[in-house]
């Protein structure tokens, strides 16, 4: 056993993935960064290695996950610049100026923001990377006192990732397409946007197929129907414009 009762087995070490690099690119330097739901600790360590924070608050509801993060930080020589906290969401992150919440479902991210809404609005920025339901996250932000300041798309290991930088502020109302594909993405039109839009189109087509097989109709069915039409229209316009 290692110190603190942590098994002494070595971790795989830090890996600068495309997804982590995209998150770092959306961040600004701060004194203290909170990595919420830190799991193995790769993201928070990336912030330290790139000089984007002086201290990282590594927060996870799972003690075993925190033990993995501790081991990684110790092996990489950054343990003294981190605090490891068992906790739920942003509640233990009071001293942090910036926060990242990544690699979990969109509904869970919304719940974490809702549970610490006042504290979330004190942060200079939030970097959010939902694994699903990203339209729900964008809609929540716009309707609850946050503005989407920047966005990024990346493709890693056969999967699309959409990443958001949000800040406290007044947001214009987002259309359904802006919630789905991202208002900043639609303005900046990054090279991956068409591929990402086709991916989201397939997601909604799959939802419709599943509902039709079960003879299910209702609000969710109508929403996906409308989203299929909106994304198809966007892709047709993008093709006409040579994007």
- Mark 7-21 as b/e (b = at least 16 C-beta within 10 Å): eeeebeebeebebbe
Answer yes or no: is pLDDT of 15 > 80: yes
Reference 159, options 191, 135, 192, 184; nearest CA is 192
Handedness of CA 177, 179, 181, 187 (dihedral sign): positive
Percent of the chain scoring above 90 in pLDDT: 86
Give the model's pLDDT for residue 3.
Answer: 38
Give the Cα separation of 97 and 29 in Å (integer). 9
Give the model's pLDDT for residue 240.
Answer: 76
Q: Are strands 159-168 and 125-130 parallel, antiparallel or unpaired?
A: antiparallel
Give the Cα separation of 68 and 169 in Å (integer). 36
Give the model's pLDDT for residue 11.
Answer: 58
pLDDT band at 190; cut points 50, 70, 90 = very high
Answer yes or no: is pLDDT of 170 > 80: yes
Answer yes or no: is pLDDT of 47 > 90: yes
pLDDT digits (tens, 9 = 90+) for 151-160: 999 999 999 9
Give the Cα separation of 62 and 149 in Å (integer). 31
Give the model's pLDDT for residue 215.
Answer: 81
Give the model's pLDDT for residue 37.
Answer: 96
Answer yes or no: is pLDDT of 85 > 70: yes
Tokens of 103: 């690699």
Average of pLDDT values for 196-204?
95
Give the model's pLDDT for residue 6.
Answer: 42
Separation of CA 208 from chain center: 26
Domain 3-187 has CATH 3.30.1950.10: no
Give the model's pLDDT for residue 5.
Answer: 43
Average of pLDDT values for 97-122?
97
pLDDT band at 217; cut points 50, 70, 90 = confident
Average of pLDDT values for 183-193?
96
Give the model's pLDDT for residue 216.
Answer: 81
Phi first, then psi: give them for residue 202, nearest 5 degrees. -65, -35
Q: Where are the domains of the chain?
A: 3-187, 194-240
């Amino acid at each position: 056993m290692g110190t603190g009762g942590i098994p002494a087995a070595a971790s795989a070490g830090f890996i600068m993935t495309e997804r982590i690099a995209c998150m770092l690119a959306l961040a600004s330097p701060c004194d203290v960064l909170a990595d919420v739901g830190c799991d193995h600790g790769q993201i928070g360590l990336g912030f330290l290695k790139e000089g984007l924070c002086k201290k990282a608050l590594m927060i996870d509801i799972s003690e075993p996950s925190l033990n993995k993060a501790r081991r990684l930080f110790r092996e990489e020589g950054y343990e003294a610049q981190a605090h490891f906290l068992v906790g739920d969401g942003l509640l233990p992150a009071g001293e942090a100026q910036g926060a990242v919440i990544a690699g979990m479902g969109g509904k869970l991210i919304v719940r974490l923001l809702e549970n610490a809404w006042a504290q979330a609005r004190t942060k200079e920025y939030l970097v959010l990377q939902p694994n699903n339901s990203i339209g729900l996250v964008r809609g929540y932000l716009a309707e609850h006192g946050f503005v989407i300041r920047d966005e990024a798309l990346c493709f890693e290991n056969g999967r699309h990732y959409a990443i958001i930088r949000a800040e406290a502020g007044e947001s214009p109302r987002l259309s359904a397409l802006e919630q789905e594909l991202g208002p900043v993405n639609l303005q900046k039109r990054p090279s991956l946007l068409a591929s990402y839009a086709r991916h989201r189109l397939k997601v909604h087509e799959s939802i419709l197929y599943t509902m039709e097989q079960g003879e299910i109709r209702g609000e969710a069915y109508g929403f996906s129907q409308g989203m299929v039409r909106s994304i198809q229209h966007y892709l047709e316009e993008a093709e006409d414009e040579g994007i």
